[in-house]
Amino acid sequence: MRVGFIGTGTMGAPMALRLVEAGHDVAVFDRVSAATTPVVTAGATLVASAAAAASGATCVFLSLPTPADVEAAVTGELGVLAASSRPTHVVDVSTSSPDVVRRLHVACAAVGVVFMDAPVSGGRAKAQTGELSVMVGGADGDVAAIEPLLRAFAAQVFHVGPCGSGTVAKLVNNQLFLAGSVLVQEAFVLGAAAGLEPAALHRILKASSGGPYAVLAPLLLGRAFDDVIFRLDIATKDLSLAVQAAEELGVDVPASAAALQVYRDALDAGLGTLAFHATLQQLEHSAGVELPALTRQPRPA
C-alpha cells in the first residue's frame, strides 16, 4: 500500500520505519531532510513536500510537534489537501489540540478526505519495537480501514469515539503523567530541604501509602537530564494543551495548572531541550537544595 508519512522526528522516524518493514511503499517528508535518513535508507522515498507525500497515497500519517504544524501540513500551500491525487485517510498521530483536530476533520471532509486523530503513547523505544498504544478518534469503518497500518507500530489500538476523542484521551494521559511527575519531585525536594536522604525516603514511600507514586522516582530524580526521551519543551506544550482543553470545557484543573507553571518556569530558565524531568532543577533552585541522583535499588536476595 502507498503510504505518506510527514514528520520523521523522535517518534515519526521509528513509526515510518515500521511501516517500511511491514512492506508498505512509504513516501516521507520532513522540513529537516536529514531526519528522514534512517527511513530512506531502509527503503522509503524522500519527497519535497507534504503534498508530494500525500499524492497517490491511500493514507497519510502526520507526526509533528505542534497543532500549528499539523494544520499547516494539511491545509497549507503545499499541504496534503494540495496533493494532485488526495489520500483517502489522513491520520494525525501527534499530540495535538482537540479544536484543531475537529477543524481539520471538517476541512478534509469538505473535499472527500477522512481526517482522524490517533495519538500514540509509549515513547521511541516502543515505537521501534511496534508496541505503542494508539488512541483513535473516528468512525467505526474508518478505524477498521486504517487499523492494519496502525498495527505496524502499535500493540494496542483503542477506538475512543468520534474524531477528537483520541486527542482528549492522550492529553488526559499526559496531564496525569506530567503533573504527577512534578508532585513526586517536589515531595522529594521538601524532604531534602528538611534533611531527609532521598534514597532512604524512597524506601519509606515504597513501603507506605505513597508507594504508587514512588515507582517513577528513579526516573524523575535520576538526574539523566541529557537522556532526552521526551523533551521538556514538548512536555510543556502537551500539558498546556490539556489545561487549555479543560478551560474550554469549563473544567477546573488547579493542580495541573500549577504544574504547568513549573514547566513554563523551567522553559524560561533555558531547560527546554533537556528531558522533561529537568523540572527538578527548577524546583531545586526555588528551594535552594540539590538532590543526589536517585537510582533503582536492587531487590533483596
> What single DSSP character describes residue 279?
H
What CA–CA distance (Å, rounded) separates 214 from 134? 26
Locate 297 and state its grid cell. Answer: 535499588
Q: Which of 121, 123, 120, 50 is nearest to 90 (CA)?
A: 50
Side chain identity at residue 265, one-letter code: D
Would you call 170 a catalytic residue per the annotation? yes
What CA–CA distance (Å, rounded) separates 144 from 122? 22
At residue 170's C-alpha, the angle toward residues 168 and 176, to 5°, is: 100
Among the listed residues 126, 170, 206, 237, the single catalytic one is: 170
Contacts of 227 (CB under 8 A, 6+ apart): 275
132-137 and 120-121 strand pairing: antiparallel
| Alpha-carbon distances of 99 from 102, 168, 184, 208, 269, rounded to whole Å | 5, 10, 31, 41, 30
The residues annotated with a catalytic role in the active site are 170
